[in-house]
């Protein structure tokens, strides 16, 4: 989604269930061994596609995925529970229709304190809106 006035409903699919995500608040989920996380645009697994615009950070041991319209997904304790490959997250990657799994050892770029930028993917306007929190009432994904 680009910065239009049409909000897209997103869902978290963890391999067992699909949950509708709320905008303007953190959607927090505890990491579960065996889970296969992905954020998609439709609740039906057969026709769902990965949400294309995302800024992904590591904050402490949590994986934080920021999407347009203030949708934030936090997988708490992801880097502890999933450190041995016990669970995974699939993220969009340009040129890969099925996305790509996040490597638990992904180093990224330390931004401040315990925040590390792991991935920026998608339309440049949408990504900048995510970073700034444009139009969603948030202050963005705090990359300062």
Chain segment 76-105, per-residue pLDDT in tens? 999 999 887 788 899 988 766 677 888 766
Per-residue pLDDT band for 55 (boundaries 50, 70, 90) equals: very high
pTM of the model: 0.85
Per-residue pLDDT band for 132 (boundaries 50, 70, 90) equals: confident
Can you give the residue ranges of every domain in the chain? 11-132
H/E stretch holding 132: helix 124-132
Burial environment of residue 109 by CB neighbours within 10 A (0 to 12, 13 to 18, 19 or more): exposed
Average of pLDDT values for 136-142? 58
The pLDDT, as a whole number, for residue 2 is: 40
Q: How far apart are CA 86 and CA 111, in angstroms?
A: 27
């Amino acid at each position: 989604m680009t910065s239009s006035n049409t909000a897209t409903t997103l869902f978290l699919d963890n391999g067992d269930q699909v949950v509708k995500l709320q905008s303007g608040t953190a959607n927090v989920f505890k990491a579960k061994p065996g889970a296969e996380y992905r954020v998609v645009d439709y609740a039906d697994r057969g026709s769902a596609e990965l949400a294309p615009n995302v800024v992904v950070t590591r904050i402490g041991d949590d994986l934080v995925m920021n999407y347009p319209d203030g949708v934030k997904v936090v997988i708490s304790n992801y880097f502890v529970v999933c450190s041995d490959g016990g669970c995974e997250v699939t993220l969009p990657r340009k040129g890969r229709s099925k996305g790509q799994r996040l490597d638990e050892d992904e180093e990224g770029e330390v931004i401040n304190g315990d925040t590390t930028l792991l991935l920026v993917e998608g339309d440049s306007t949408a990504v900048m809106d995510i970073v700034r929190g444009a139009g969603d009432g948030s202050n963005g994904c705090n990359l300062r």
